[in-house]
Amino acid sequence: MSRIVPHGVEAAAFARALDELSAIVGKDWVFVDNLPLSAYRDAYSPLADGVMLPSAAVAPNGVEEIKKILKIVNAYRIPIWTIGTGRNFAYGGPAPRQTGYVMLDLRRMNMVIEVNEKYGYALVEPGVSYMQLYRHLRQIGSKLWIDPAAPAWGGVMGNALEHGAGYTPYGDHFIMQCGMEVVLADGEVVRTGQGALAGSKHWQVTKHAAGPQFDGMFTQSNFGVVTKMGIWLMPEPPGYKPFMITYQREEDLEAIFEITRPLKVNQIIPNAAVAVDLLWEASAKTTRRHYFDGKGPLPPSIRAKIASDLHLGMWNYYGALYGPPPVIENNWKIVEEALMSIPGAKVYFDRENDPAWDYRVRLMRGEPNMTEFSIMNWIGGGGHINFSPISAPSGSEALAQYNLIKQRCHDHGFDYIGEFLVGWRDMHHILMIMYDRADEAMRKSAYNLFGLLVDEAAAAGFGEYRTHLAFMDQIAKTYKHNDGALWDLHHRLKDVLDPNGIFSPGKQGIWPKSMRTPA
């Protein structure tokens, strides 16, 4: 048996609880020895090994088993940490918030329950990955597109619940969510929206019902276990025109997003327009050591050589147009005139033998793939963590964020590797801090850099929308309007919905009363 036990639970009581859990799901689906539990660690973490490790894991195969599990963990006051596919890498992956939690692993619940071609939606369970849903749609001959996150192994439900984004016109995944089934801590099963109507045929058609809308309360929270979720899918358009534009100067970033904003707000460019920096783009094709074996950020001369060799800009802009070909061509004239007005801009509609171009083109038409994961080879050693502040789609805000964050990266010896993505009226800035986990000094420096960026970005008015497990409390404290009234509300809800504090304690800085640090 694992030597780790949940905090506050006696070993003998924990052993009895595991026996009771085994009676529910079967011994094969309760993991307590070291080998299976290694699957529930953050392999890319900025923390030292030996932290955020589970005491056990249990894998139910349906709502009825979940309800029985909750009865047991409530009785023994055992904290559980819920995962779907467990692929939330760069943000903690499948690891728990603290050592000792029991993993509630929902990967066995991986049914695509329904696909509705007429209304354009799917109803899925937590374990359904983007690739699984994509293959299912192809198998049944569907003409619907999914909107995948960059790695194909990610979960459709999990990514939406974490406020994730993709690259087609359906790129805001929570907006495209419609209808949830949730198991509360006391075992009660709730369906949101029209799903609350007995015999409803419109659960995935509209989010609204009589009374408050609760779906958002179960995103990035620990108030319940989501067991079913509807997701809207995009009908295959009659035309698709992807493009890439390279820009030669770092300071072009300001003009890029001043031009992009009206194109996005007016939906001339309907998908998530993204400006990718030189090294993020290059890392899909080469490695840092191929060009430079020194320490610290790359010298400007090396950056210029990479750009020249790979025909890249300091910023590399991807977008796509969709619809009837005449509409696409009319809209392209507007896009071309606007985005090509920046001196030195060069447009591409195809790039031969370019894996970065190929995977972006596939993402923008709803085809999941794993190419982006190859950027881990840039440094080697696997370590990476994403810093993800948000802002308005403003050129000046983009440039201010870039200059601030790039300087801090350089101060700590890291290259800036990032991208800016505009959804509609929001802009996500994804910084990829990459490091060799075997290099302890480098790993610690990455951790220190992240913590500094959290505070400095917040001081400048930029909050993170998503974060790694290790920084959830720090980021929660940056949302401090009116003495942290928002997190006070979170905690009031937590105390009512989960009085024993069993669901994912500490998720997003939301702690049960028994584990809460006095202010």
Cα distances (angstroms) measured from residue 333 to each of 66, 263, 329, 368, 496:
54, 12, 6, 29, 56
Single out the residue of 38, 18, 16 nearest to residue 29, CA to CA: 18
3-state secondary structure (DSSP) of residue 190: strand
Question: Among the options 77, 465, 479, 516, which is catalytic?
Answer: 465
Token pair 């890319």 in the structure block, residue: 44
Question: Among the options 91, 170, 317, 322, which is catalytic?
Answer: 91
As a whole number of angstroms, the distance between CA 110 and CA 129 comes to 8
Q: Is 479 a catalytic residue?
A: no
314, two tokens = 């300091």
Q: Is 91 a catalytic residue?
A: yes
Contact predicate 376/384, CB 8 Å: yes
Question: Among the options 87, 107, 360, 466, which is catalytic?
Answer: 466
**What strands, in cross-sheet order, belong to the sheet with 102-105?**
30-31, 56-58, 102-105, 80-83
Cα distances (angstroms) measured from residue 96 to each of 16, 267, 469, 470, 507:
22, 40, 8, 10, 9
Q: Convert 132-143 to b/e letters by CB count within 10 Å (16 or more is b).
A: bbbebbeeeebe
CB atoms within 10 A of CB 358: 16
As a whole number of angstroms, the distance between CA 477 and CA 92 comes to 19
Q: What angle do CA 498, 107, 185 make, to 5 degrees?
A: 10
Burial class (CB in 10 A: 0-12, 13-18, 19+), 409: buried
Single out the residue of 151, 152, 227, 217 nearest to residue 187, CA to CA: 227
As a whole number of angstroms, the distance between CA 412 and CA 445 comes to 6
Q: Is 359 a catalytic residue?
A: no
Cα dihedral 285, 290, 295, 298 sign:
negative
Catalytic residues: 91, 465-466
